[in-house]
Amino acid sequence: MSPAAPDLDLLRSSAAALRAAFFAGEVSATDMVSAAASAAADDRLGAYLTVDAEAATVEARQTDEVRAMLRRTGGLRELTGTHPLLGLPTAFKDLVKVAGMPTTFGTAALDHPVAAADDPLPRRVHRGGAISVGKTQVPEFGLPCYSENRIGAPARNPLDPARTAGGSTGGGAAAVASGMLPFAPGSDGGGSVRIPAAACGLVGLKPGRRRMPDDPHRDDVRNLMVSGPLARSASDAALLFDVMAGSRFRPTAEGMAEGPSMAAVRRALAEGLPALRVRTTVDAPFSPDLEVPLAEEARRSYGRGAELLRGLGHRVVDADRARGRHRSRLWPEDYHRRFRALWTAGLAASPFTADQEELLEPLTRYFLDLARSRPPEETAAAVGRLQRAARDAESVLGDADLLMTPMLATAPPEIGWFTSLDPAENYEAQCRFTPYSSVINVLGLPAVSVPVLTDAEGLSWSVQLIGRRGSEELLLAVAATMTERS
């Protein structure tokens, strides 16, 4: 085992710093995994549903043996490109299968079988060298924007443990924000990466539809879910994104291979970016069907985001003011009703038994009843209208390179607040809390949540940057310049 570098905090250092220290021989995989597993065993935030420290430790020791052998033979530099995450600990949300661990989907209604093999995304990340220490907390089937269920402790926000960490990658966000992990892969079907990122003060990237090799590639609004990274910085998010995206890592003069997103972030931090045109709006997609009031801090963070962008030399244009008092609709018409139909449609054919349905969360049963009672032609019409909007998705940017919105409308509510509501009220409260996220999944565009403000209570507030198709690297580079550039 290598002695850890004296100034390296294994639970707070960046993924980039841990990676560099590992390949330099200053810290071992066993060091990093032991620290992550110990933190997971002492988890007081409800971040984990499963921890497998024994298996992770065995894998870490094997990784250290490989590193020692390659140091002797001179093959370590090549390994930074073929296995760029080597030795770094991580964890997947419990909606995907990881070999040797149970898969719960956050529900008490189904059995929790131990997976025989990794799903495609965990397989890719593990091939990149990362070591899973456990599975993180999720809401039932990933449906709500808060991570509470009947099978484990709720995922709590490290910035205020009385509050939710968000969802559905709430456990992963709690683990990363608290320092238990350097980063975590997530998935986002209506905001499930960006919402917990914003709640916990992280950078969270939702790639565009069909960008990620291990996600479904149907060009269809029913294909909402995409995989994306959560990290404490855009630089670390870029490292994980490049692996998740299957990007090629190339050697650098400094000796550490990097992927295209990492290179874009590095250049942006060193040289800045060309001037971009950024359109901004607080117009909420759920309006006018739902009133969506913005908290004062949400408006302050929106203003702060615009200020940061202007300070970086970008041209910021207020889309709401430009369209005038009688402005045309920016978002798809009748979005509230149509998205609810789309979001719940897949449950209509769910093969739950009567006994299983009794064990479902009240919100899930409400969604199930909605889906079964809605006439099929109504669902088809809603999906069709949203599909037409998605074909012209980039129209929301107008002639701009990026569109900026607030990320969350209010501070993260306290644990138990959503579940204390009637299911119909619960769903509408979630829409009011996260009014700007789901429409971007419908449109299929990439977006990133960027922390820009810390309030007097220590809570973080973020803005959302939305880009054109294929602009994930640009989004991470802009996020880095807003948050990391001195």
Q: Which of 13, 28, 34, 93 is catalytic?
A: 93
Query: Hey, what amino acid is at 234?
Result: A
Burial class (CB in 10 A: 0-12, 13-18, 19+), 146: buried
Query: Hey, what amino acid is at 444?
Result: G
Tokens of 265: 């972030």
Q: What letter does residue 434 receive in the DSSP assignment?
A: S
Please give the helix or strand (H or E) that residue 176 lies within, else none. Answer: helix 170-177
Q: Which residue has the tokens 């939702």?
A: 206
Assess whether 168 carries a catalytic annotation: yes
Report the relative pairing of strands 160-164 and 48-51 from DSSP bridges: unpaired
Helix/strand/coil for 162: strand
Q: Which residue has the tokens 């609810």?
A: 340
Report the relative pairing of strands 183-188 and 226-231 from DSSP bridges: antiparallel
Give every CB contact of residue 99 below 8 A, 6+ residues apart in sequence. 115, 116, 117, 118, 122
Q: How far is CA 84 from CA 70, 77, 234, 307, 473, in A?
A: 15, 10, 17, 35, 18
Q: How far is CA 141 from CA 106, 172, 185, 268, 361, in A?
A: 6, 15, 17, 38, 10
Assess whether 93 carries a catalytic annotation: yes
Assess whether 486 carries a catalytic annotation: no
Please give the radius of gyration of the chain, using alpha carbons only, rounded to the nearest integer.
Answer: 22
Of 165, 141, 143, 145, the C-alpha closest to 154 is 165
Q: Which of 28, 34, 187, 192 is catalytic?
A: 192
Give every CB contact of residue 353 below 8 A, 6+ residues apart in sequence. none
Tokens of 253: 């003069």
What is the CB neighbour count within 10 angstroms for residue 68? 13
Q: Which of 13, 28, 34, 168 is catalytic?
A: 168
For residues 99 and 76, is the Cβ–Cβ distance under 8 A? no
Q: What letter does residue 181 receive in the DSSP assignment?
A: -
Question: What is the phi/psi pair of residue 253, to 5°?
Answer: -65, -30
Q: Where in the sequence numbering do the catalytic residues fall?
A: 93, 168, 192
